[in-house]
Homo-oligomer: A and B are copies of this chain.
Amino acid sequence: MGASKVDIYSDQINAIAAIAKVFAHPARVAILKYISSQESCICNDIVDKIGLAQPTISQHLKVINEAGLLNGSFEGKSICYCLNVDRFQEIQEHLNAYFNQTKSNCC
């Protein structure tokens, strides 16, 4: 097979896995870090900074965007990619809730 059997898990569990997946590639972690460190940045900067080809960066940005983690308009020429800090915080809290819940009752 090879595909995850998403339907056999609860929504909460799938949500955690989906969130984790965004951070499960170093390029995306690096991109998020870089975006947050810049006042505003455009994709070409990222390409130079990270060291991957432009289409590859664009693909990773799409994943990050689909997680709701990008702010600003992003079509056309010179574009401002910004970290959606609210969503970023929300994700952090979501993860912490899972961690705290899981920690609570153990041998």
A interface list, Cβ under 8 A from B: 4-6, 8-10, 13-14, 16-17, 20-30, 32-33, 35-40, 50-52, 82-83, 85, 88-89, 91-92, 95-96, 98-99, 101-107
Q: Which of B26, B32, B35, B83 is within 8 Å of A4, CB to CB?
A: B26
Q: With a CB–CB cut-off of 8 A, which chain B residues contact A30?
A: 9-10, 13
**Copies per complex of this chain:** 2
State A52–B96 Cα separation when bound (angstroms): 27
**Is the CB–CB distance between B9 and A17 below 8 Å?**
no
State A28–B38 Cα separation when bound (angstroms): 35
Question: Whose C-beta in chain B lies nearest to the C-beta of A83?
Answer: B106
**Is the CB–CB distance between B5 and A36 below 8 Å?**
no
